[in-house]
Amino acid sequence: MTDIIEITAPIEQEGTKAVVRNWLKRIGDYVKEGDALVELETDKVTQEIPAPCDGILSEIAMEDGDDAAPGAILGRMSVESANGVAAQAAAVPLQIQPAQPATASATAYYSPAVRKAAEEYGIDPASLKGSGRDGRVTRADMDHAAETDTSHPSAPISQQAETGQTLPTAATDGKSRIVPHSAMRLSIAKHMAQSLATAPQVTAIFEADFTAIMRHRENHKERMKAQGVNLSYTAYFVAASVAAMKLVPEVNSQWHDDGLEIFADVNIGVGIALGDKGLVAPIIRQAQDLSLEVIAARLQDLTNRARSNALKGEELKGGTFTISNHGVSGSLVASPIIINQPQSAILGIGKLEKRVVVREVDGVDTIQIRPMAYVSLTIDHRSLDGHQTNAWLTEFVRVLQNWPQ
C-alpha cells in the first residue's frame, strides 16, 4: 500500500513572504527523512525544506518563482507501507513518465501562480518558452511576456498611451533584459522606501584614525587565530558603539508617538552583503556584556552562516542599532545610509586608507601619514538632535583612537 505525504511550507515563515527558488530533488528520486528537497526564499533568509519522511518524491506542486503561503503544499511524497519496499526504490529507480508538455488544454501542469497570471494577462502559457526546470513555464516567464508584449492590454502603462497606442520604450535596440526581483530584493526596496517616508533622516560625518586599533589587532590576531577566530575591524566598531551608547543612550532607541523607547540591551545588527541577492543584518545581542574576543567570534559565526544561507529567522530580529561597513567595497562616504526602521540610527564606516594629517607633537604641528576612515551616523531626527549625534560620534572616535594596547 502506498501512502501520500504532503510537503508543506512552514507555518511560521522567517519573513513576510516566501517564494519557491530551487528544487534540489527530481520527481522519482528516493530521499531520506531530513534530506533537503526545495529552497524557499523569504525577504530575510533562504531556507531548505527537508523531506518529512523516507520515500519517493512523486509530485512537484509549486515551481520556481511561485509564491508559497504558510502551510502551502509544495509537493508530495509516496511512501510504501510494506517493509523494505522504499529501500528497494533507492536501488531500482522508478520508471516515471515525464510530464507532458504544457498545452492550452492541459493547464493542470501549470503552477497556481502561472494559471493566475494567465487569467490576469490573457496570455496562453503554452505559447511561451519556459525557463523553469524541464522547460516549465514560471510566473516570471508570464510577467516578462506581459511586460514585453506592448500590444497586449496588460502591458505596463509606461509602454502604452491612454488611447491604446503603444509608446516608445527606453530600450528600443532589443538589448535590454528583465531580471525578476527576488523576495529579498523586493523586501529591501519596500523597507528602504518606508524608512525614508517615515523618518526625517540626517547624517553627520567624522574622521577616525585607526592607528590604535590596527596596532592592537596586529598584537592579538595570531592569538585569536589560534582559537579559530578572525579578529576583524568590525569587532572594534561594535565595541566602540557600545561605549558610545553609554554616553548617549538615546541613540539606542525607537521612536513612538507618545515617547522615546530607550533600550537597556544594545543589540547590534551588522550588515553583511550577499552579492546580487541583497544583504542581511544579523544581530549581536546584548553586546554591552561581551568582550572584544566574544564579539569577534560571534561576528565570524554570523557572517559564515549568512553567506551559506544558514541563519535562523530569530537572528535577524530585535536589533536596536545597525552598523554598515560599506567601506569594504570601496566607498569613502555613503549618505544617507538609510536607517533600519524602527531603529533611530545607523553607523556607516568608510574605506580605510592612508592620508596625510596634521598632528601636534610637543607643541609643534607635524605632518604625518595615518590610516584614516570617514565614519557617519545617520539619525532619525524625530528621536535625536545634532548635539546628541555629534556627542555619540565624538565618543565613538575617541574610543577607537585611544584603544589600549
* Distance in angstroms (rounded) separating the CA atoms of residues 272 and 269: 9
Written as one string, the DSSP assignment of 240-297 is HHHHHHHH-GGGSEEEETTEEEE-SS--EEE-EE-GGG-EE--EETTGGG--HHHHHH
Q: Work out the number of other CB atoms within 10 angstroms of the CB of residue 14.
A: 20
* Pair 43, 184: CB distance under 8 Å: yes
Contacts with 14 (C-beta within 8 Å, 6 or more apart), sequence order: 42, 44, 45, 47, 312, 313, 316
* Distance in angstroms (rounded) separating the CA atoms of residues 268 and 289: 12
* Pair 391, 380: CB distance under 8 Å: no
* Pair 389, 347: CB distance under 8 Å: no
Q: Which of the residues are catalytic?
A: 381, 385
C-alpha cell at 405: 594596547
Nearest to 183 by CA among 337, 8, 81, 66: 66
Omega before residue 156 within 30° of 0, cis: no
